[in-house]
Every structure is written in structure tokens, then in C-alpha cells.
A = this chain, B = another copy of it.
Amino acid sequence: MAVSEATAKRRVTATDVAAVAGVSRATVGFVLNRTRGQTISEGTRERVLEAALRLGYRPNSAAQALASGRSRIVLFVLPDWPVEYSFRIYLDEASRVLDEAGYSLVTYTRRPHGETRPLWELLTPDSVFGFTSFSPDEIASMRGCGIRRIFPDPARQEPLDLSLAVSAGPRLQVEHLYEHGRRQLAYAAFADPLPSSLVQARHDAARERAHSLDLPPVDIRYIDYRDGSADDAVRAWHGAGVTGVVAFNDDVAAAVVSAAIRIGIRIPDDLAVIGHDDSPIATMFVPALSTVRFDTATLGRGFAEYAINQTEGRPLPDWRPPVSAILVRREST
């Protein structure tokens, strides 16, 4: 009666648990946090655990954060553009592994308008990971609220690129077209200005691979599927003798293929097109799109491992993202 009344009125605290278990508040903390270096008798441990369970005790995380100086939050800042389809699997895996290590992964999409107070100030995460790099202002804001571990951190020349498989996909795309006899290649970029750094990086990788295969220069054009740019690009490429198109992603590949169909260019005979990501559209499109897939679950686990070690201050010197790109051949090549 007294207990249920208290439960209804206010939140159960460690003091309540201590009272029921007949120990001090400190001991409650030691048991529940499995504090290392403390030895607790089995009887005490059981009494505390039992009392905590019975009262439905949930530690107050704000108090924990304030007292310990750690929030057990890992913040992952996503870019302001729609991330590829498979990225959800990546995040799910990363989240699961971090959770096992006692951390929560919170994702945060930067808003175009800029908040009064960015999310990292409100959450004060133990570490912040960015899909792309941070601006000096952002770094200053994070440092200002006590966040010590920021990646990628420009000051440290951090080698890791969290967009991870930047070059593996484009390389595979080029190799695939090459193996099927295509020599004059073009790159279909994404006109949306937001993911421009990723577009740039993928294009660079494709161009370099083409160069190393002694192929002629790769013409790049920016495709916006809402206007006629795909038609223009396909016409221009067709006139210039292009026989293979490397697309930034499956959406762009679909736009190129659909423009070609409308114009009357045969896919893949006249023009082979390869996408990137193996998103649902690649399966459903007619013709189905050849593309490149990643083992995103493994990548997610890899990121989590990296994040945990960085957050706890023991970086893995030789760590590399476990990238594995797989070619998926369908009808467009």
C-alpha cells in the first residue's frame, strides 16, 4: 500500500531500493552497475536485485550522466540527404552491437535550417560520429559542451571515412562494364546538390579505375530525374559513342535507363547501365537493373566495434571498415 502509493506519486529511486533491501544507496549502485573493484556478498547482491525488480527501479539517466560525466550515448550525425536504402540495415546492426556494450546509438539528421540548439548539446553524447566531416563551428559547439571524441576530426587527419565503401562500389561498377567489353564509359551523377561530396568521391573512384584500365576519359553528367536532364545526357552520350554508364545510385540508373527507352536506345545492347546500392527499384525496374550491393550488416558491426573502442579511448590502430562489395548482374548490362 505504502509502496504502491509512493510508486504512483513519484519515481522509484535508489534510496527506495536501498531501504527495501536494507543496504546503503552506494551498495545499490555497486550491485546494479556491477562496479569493478567492489566485492559484494552474494546475499546482499540478491536482496538488492530482488528489491530493484520488485519496485520496478529504473535509474535516472540524467542523474547518472551528471554524476559520472558520461551519458552512454553515441550520436551518429547523418547527412541532410536521403541515405541509401541499405543504410538502415547498417544502422540496425551498429545499434545492436553498441547496445550490447551498454551504449545507445542515436541518429541525428542535420536540419537545413539550423536549430537553436543542436542535438549534441541536448544529449551530450560520449562521442559523435559524422557520416561526413564537421564544420569548424560544429566542432567548436561540440567541444564547448564537453564532447571529447569526435570523428572524423579534421585536427587529427582522421583517415576513416564513415561513408565507408566509397571507392569499392565504383571500382566494381567500372570493372564489370569493362569485362563486358564496354570501353567508352560515362558517369551519371546525381544533380541534387546535397550529397555532392559523396557524388564527387564516387566519381573520382570510378574515373581512377577507368584510367588504370587504360580507358578513355569518363564523361560526367548530372541527372535530375524530375526534368529532362537524363534525356539530354543519354542523347549526348549516344552521339559520343558511350557504351557503358556508371550511375551514382540505382535511382539515377533508373532515370538513365528510362530516358534511353523513351529515346529508343536499346538496353543493354546499345548502352549498358549499372547502378549502386541494390535498392528495391533495381529489382522492380523493367529492365531490372544491374547494381552493386554491400554487406551492410557486417559494415554496421564494424562501425560499432570502431565506435566502442574510440568512445572508450582505445583506438584500434590498424582498423579498416570491413567493406565487401558484390556485383549483382541483372538486365541492364
Contacts and interface: CB of A to CB of B under 8 A. Distances in A.
Given A60-B124, A62-B65, A92-B111, A280 B258 contact: no
Contacts of A63: 62, 66
Interface stretch (A151-159, A175-183, A281-289, A309-317): A281-289
B281 A254 contact: yes
Copies assembled: 2
A106 interface: yes
A115 interface: yes
Interface stretch (A41-49, A96-104, A233-241): A96-104
A112 B88 contact: no
A171 interface: no
Contact of A117 (B60, B104, B111, B112): B104
A163 interface: no
A283 B228 CA distance: 12
Contacts of A286: 258, 261-262, 286
A264 to B, nearest CB: 13
A146 B11 contact: yes
Interface string A232-265: 0000000000000000000100110010011000
A71 interface: yes
A211 interface: no
A303 B241 CA distance: 52
A37 interface: no
A124 B59 CA distance: 10
A109 B255 CA distance: 31
A82 interface: yes
B146 A61 contact: no
A121 interface: yes
A297 interface: no
A136 interface: no
A221 interface: no
B122 A72 contact: yes
Interface string A269-298: 000000000001101111000000000000
B66 A62 contact: yes
22 contacts: A11-B146, A56-B140, A60-B124, A60-B146, A62-B63, A62-B65, A71-B122, A82-B85, A82-B88, A88-B109, A92-B112, A96-B113, A99-B111, A104-B122, A106-B106, A107-B107, A225-B280, A225-B284, A251-B281, A261-B286, A262-B286, A281-B281
Interface of A: 11-12, 56, 58, 60-63, 65-66, 71-73, 82, 85, 88, 91-92, 95-96, 99-100, 102, 104, 106-109, 111-113, 115-117, 119, 121-124, 140-141, 144-146, 225-226, 251, 254-255, 258, 261-262, 280-281, 283-286
